[in-house]
Structure 1
Amino acid sequence: MRDRRNTILSVSSSGTTHSARSSLSEQFSFSSPLASPTLPPPVTKENRRRTHFGRTAFLKLLAATLVVLLLFRELLCWTSPDVDLPNASLTSQAGVVPTAVLVPDATGHTRWTVSIPSNSSFPLSNEQYSSICHEGEVLREKLARNSPIGRLRDFQRHRGYYAKDWSYLDVSETSSSSPTASNQSNTCSTSLTVALDSDASFGKSLLLLWLSYGLAKHEGRAFFVDDSRWAYGEYRRYFAPPPDQDCTPPPMHHIVPCPHQAKHLLVSAATAQWTFGDLFSQEFASGHRAGHGRPIFDMLRTGYQDLFKLVGEDANYAQARTADLRAAASNKGESVVAMHIRRGDLHPHEHQYSGDYLPLERYAAHAKTLYHSLAVNASDPDDAQASVLLASDDPDILQSSSLAHAASPLVIQRVQERIQLATKATLDRTSPVEPFREPGSAYVKHVDENSGWEGGFFSALFYSLGNAQSRTLERLNQLPTLADAVPAEAMRMRELVGRAYLLDMAVLGQSDGVVCAVSSAACRILGVMVGWDAVKDGRWVNVDDGRPWSWDGRGRG
């Protein structure tokens, strides 16, 4: 069928026009004229339709909005009544065990908090702090499960390091909080306290101290150090006091190990996993791969710059030793290159040597390469008798002929002469021990032999220092490890070990470049000391498994 949409009617003459009109009038009859179409008047400011939003409608909308907001708030904060509450609120009476507990807040909703009796010793043991945090996680999960939108709250908790746990009630807001203590005008509003503990690793304690200080400064918290249980004794024996905080510490029972949002936080080796856990790494390390965790490095660097201030004659010696080495190198047009070699009870990351130690030749080869890369204006090492500084926990390495041969033509030089770890042979020469026979007796009284540092630093040997009853290695692990259980003579010997370590670090840290193994805390410390530019430019050289500089605050990385 033909499409009629394009049909065209054509009129060719006036004659046909009349005929067409007649025909049209015969087919249609009109009773009245058609209404002519009219357009609406133009819209103007005067005739625009106005929508009147009545007062009643507005009030209804406002009331509905408020109801929705209140319901949403109740859903977020409401806890199901089947959550068991303790029979009594927090108490500071003697005999109560520090723990995490459920308590009602000011509005009657259930929260979890930390209960530490005000008469408890401070700091608590590592086991107690760890138990509190584990218990807190259990209570938080219990509250989340019994909340209508617990999963949403759990999602919020996991989304970032600074996401708040809305089920936690700060100790200062509980009914047991001391109004007098907490409302003192000069008490710090927020703080972080580092509790140095019984860990024999001075290096790990130092890294934890610096990172905690850097984090506290980043978050605007006051910073304090507690050395009550430190294996190395009193902080002031090694360092100047931390910078003044212009406020006084909070009550001790307000200082808790978790969660991180607590107003007054405690950090120790036992609680580091809660402060420097995966969320911390995601916040400050993830997304910074090109910088190898630069934000964390900067926190440590801040701690180093503000806290690493030796005291007394050790400070004077380190300064003078560094100046002499600098002057000697400058006169020869050389750079100061250093090595640190850790042995003892620490083994490298590299799988091939994980049960042994890295070859000394590897350290020497990297030291020579580093020296030549820095010695732009230096004379030929064969003529200049250039030297490389060496520090190690194993005294025998300093006299190692194999290391000396591998480092040639560089000459191995001891980093400092003030305090050194000694071997048994050295101690026997300087402080011989002779058996004692009482007059008239046929029996010789046993006297313990000298114990040296053959092979390097071992934690068991450190804990046995000064203990006259440690006759066999099997008994070393049963020795007390808390600072308050260490005899004065043993603590004096521990202090010497700590001071020797710090002198090594103080001088090595001022070198132009350093070679070390990143499995050692000392190597990571030296990276912080020489600075980010040195790490980035290859003047901090790790010889273990090719890993970059890293530290996660928990002793791993």
Structure 2
Amino acid sequence: MPHPNRPLANIFVSSRSDRLNTPVQVLTPRTPHSRNGRAEEGFTEVELDDLPEYDEEEEEDAFLSPGRTPSSVSPGPASTAFPPGYRSRGDDREILGPKVRMCPSGLMLAERLVYLSGAFFVFGIFALFYMAFQRDLEDNGFGLAINYRHYYVFPLTGAQYAHECERISWFKEGLNYWDPPLSGPTDVVHHDRRLKMHGHSPICSSTVTYQLDGHAGLATDLALMAQVAALARERNSTFFIDDTYWTRGRWVDYFEDPINVYPGPEPGCRRPPPEELVACPRSARHWVVNSHTAKYHLNSQFSERYEDSSAQGINRRRPIYDHAARSLAEIIRPDAHNSALIRTARSEIASILSLPHDSHSKYAPYIGVQLVHEHSISHNTSTPSLKAYVQAMHDIWTRLYPNHPIPLDSDTTAHFPAPPIAYLATDAPETLRHYVAAFPASTAKFALDLSTDAELRALAPEHAYDPVFFAEVPTAERVRLTRGLIVDLALMSGLWPEDGYVVPGATVCAAGLNACELAVIGLGWERAFGFDDAKEHPTGEVDHARMRWVPLGPQTTRWKGFELPFHKGIV
């Protein structure tokens, strides 16, 4: 039996014989690995119970004295050089010899310093990141509150809203398009102003605002606005337009006030205070979108949400077309003055074509043409050449109107209005002159600058449009040029049609520009892509023999519905 006061911690499990005064049984030596494993195992409980009682001092003296063999042990024939519990040669140095202190090498220290430095660096960056946003995002009970304390003028500009979107971009949007951010609800602090106070209408409970600032072309703003207005309808929010910083003046100088044509779910409610408008995230109560921030919302997640995933080809974009078409028909409508100008221009074309203005022949045999110059092109698009325009006009007229052939250049009997009949929309007089000179004098060509109506002719630009200097143009001239641009867009694309007034039979435009994207809305889905043959088109492949939307650009050009702007130039 073991000594009752003997501490087990002093038993050396890798010692020599377990019976000091008795001959030991020979064990077959194992491999070093097996012996090491046995030694590290130690004794089992049964082996510990079989240990003899002996004095601790003798054990320590026998086992811990280097070079000394216990006198009671007499190696003989029944013994081997490997008594029970023996580990392997050299193992006794670990126990009996002096302990060697392992000092970390210089390389190990360097590695540890690198790891520690990296950890401190990451922690420091996180701390700075947190402190940078702490003043802008505060806990407000419902989630994280956006604080605009470092701004003094509201609403913010388009660039400032984009900056705020960047600042909180680490708060990722939700998994689905309308989900709140993964970090939780994020919004500015709202004051309870919904109750009627002093006879005033309450603030709308949910709004979507499109902000105009002049840093994008009019067609770009209209294309983006059409999608944003559709999102307001889906979200059941009241839609507003903010023109505080618009370089073209007031929205109601050209278009109907949206609140009059689309009152929304809360008729009569008032705009929210400008300091409560939030650009990101889109789940904010009063969401604002502009040409700077559209990239955060009309992105790949938008396409995943609103494309028809069950359709093929161009048919996948049909829901996006439907959204824009409804917005441009119900919400984004020219005011009475601009509508009258559009009717005047359409009547002029109808009279030249010997078609009365109340004719039932809606699709007139004329082609809308968007003539562009270098300032009209975005950063990733090239300006179509004059040769490309001329060739496209010949090709599409021959394809669509074979019964009205284009006269040969040598045909002196041709008279006005000879085909190809075209309405030329352009903001550069020099570009217009080059096109006119490329066709015989008998060819019918319409444009603001060529109109017989004095009011229309007054809307024509006197020099090429340059967005960089547009803000420096006198206000009255900016209003005049904007009215002319709206008339051009309607006559070139067929937007805002009215019963009894003609629209183009086809449109030739520059791929990559939003005026070209909007032309599909004016032409109509079926006519634009050649689907108006009363047949099914499940593959969504455009019928090039019948299509009436002709974008000049890469052969792989596909309709998107809108082009996100690039703010170093007009798009």
Task: Give the alignment's TM-score, normalised by structure 2.
Answer: 0.60
Give the equivalent residue in structure 1 for 2:470: 462
Is residue 227 of structure 1 aligned with residue 243 of structure 2? yes
Give the equivalent residue in structure 1 for 2:137: 101
Structure 2: distance between partners of 1:83 and 1:180:
37
How far apart are 1:359 and its partner, in Å? 1.7
Give the equivalent residue in structure 2 for 1:265: 287
Is residue 358 of structure 1 aligned with residue 372 of structure 2? no
Residue-by-residue CA offset, 1:428-463 (whole Å, 9 max, x unaligned): xxxxxxxxxxxxxxxxxxxxxxxx52xx32222323
How far apart are 1:275 and its partner, in Å? 1.9
More helix by share: 1
Structure 2: distance between partners of 1:275 and 1:347:
23
- When Rg is computed on C-alpha atoms for both structures, the one with the higher figure is 2
CA 1:553–1:411 in 2, change beyond 3 Å: closer, same or farther? Answer: closer
Residue pair 2:138, 2:147 contacting (<8 A) in 1 also = no
How far apart are 1:516 and its partner, in Å? 0.7
Structure 2: distance between partners of 1:291 and 1:391:
29
Equivalent residue runs for 1:51-130 within 5 Å: 100-105=136-141, 111-116=143-148, 120-130=152-162
Residue pair 1:162, 1:261 contacting (<8 A) in 2 also = yes
Is residue 199 of structure 1 aligned with residue 199 of structure 2? no
Residue pair 2:368, 2:491 contacting (<8 A) in 1 also = no
Equivalent residue runs for 1:461-480 within 5 Å: 461-465=469-473
Residue-by-residue CA offset, 1:166-223 (whole Å, 9 max, x unaligned): 5233547xxx532244798843232101111131522212222222112212322210
How far apart are 1:397 and its partner, in Å? 2.6
Which residue of 389, 396, 419 maps to 1:370?
396
Structure 1: distance between partners of 2:334 and 2:562:
26
Give the equivalent residue in structure 2 for 1:405: 438
Structure 2: distance between partners of 1:168 and 1:414:
54
How far apart are 1:506 and its partner, in Å? 1.8
Give the equivalent residue in structure 1 for 2:228: 212
Give the equivalent residue in structure 1 for 2:326: 302
How far apart are 1:296 and its partner, in Å? 2.0
Residue pair 1:239, 1:307 contacting (<8 A) in 2 also = no
Is residue 253 of structure 1 aligned with residue 275 of structure 2? yes
Which ranges of structure 2 fall in alignment gaps of 5 or more residues?
Answer: 1-125, 408-413, 495-502, 531-546
Which ranges of structure 1 fall in alignment gaps of 5 or more residues?
Answer: 1-81, 88-96, 142-156, 424-451, 466-489
Q: Which moved more, 1:287-296 or 1:315-324?
A: 287-296
Q: Which of structure 1's runs of 4+ aligned residues deviate more than 6 A?
A: 82-87, 182-185, 348-351
AA in 2 matched with 1:523: C
1:240 is paired with a residue whose SS is coil
How far apart are 1:325 and its partner, in Å? 2.0
Structure 1: distance between partners of 2:438 and 2:192:
70
Q: Which moved more, 1:118-127 or 1:229-238?
A: 118-127
Structure 2: distance between partners of 1:171 and 1:350:
35
Residue pair 2:255, 2:334 contacting (<8 A) in 1 also = yes
CA 1:113–1:133 in 2, change beyond 3 Å: closer, same or farther? Answer: farther
Is residue 240 of structure 1 aligned with residue 262 of structure 2? no
CA 1:300–1:207 in 2, change beyond 3 Å: closer, same or farther? Answer: same
Residue pair 2:155, 2:275 contacting (<8 A) in 1 also = no
Residue pair 1:101, 1:113 contacting (<8 A) in 2 also = yes
2:369 is paired with a residue whose SS is strand
Structure 1: distance between partners of 2:349 and 2:444:
14
Is residue 540 of structure 1 aligned with residue 566 of structure 2? no
How far apart are 1:101 and its partner, in Å? 0.7
Tell me how large the CA RMSD over aligned residues is. 3.6
CA 1:374–1:186 in 2, change beyond 3 Å: closer, same or farther? Answer: farther
How far apart are 1:404 and its partner, in Å? 4.1
2:166 is paired with a residue whose SS is helix
Residue-by-residue CA offset, 1:258-311 (whole Å, 9 max, x unaligned): 111122200012221222122112222474543262222222222211234323
How far apart are 1:374 and its partner, in Å? 2.8
Equivalent residue runs for 1:140-151 within 5 Å: 140=171
Which residue of 284, 301, 305 maps to 1:279?
301
AA in 2 matched with 1:122: F
Residue-by-residue CA offset, 1:484-511 (whole Å, 9 max, x unaligned): xxxxxx1211111211111111222231
How far apart are 1:350 and its partner, in Å? 8.1
CA 1:267–1:165 in 2, change beyond 3 Å: closer, same or farther? Answer: same
How far apart are 1:327 and its partner, in Å? 5.0
Residue pair 1:348, 1:517 contacting (<8 A) in 2 also = no
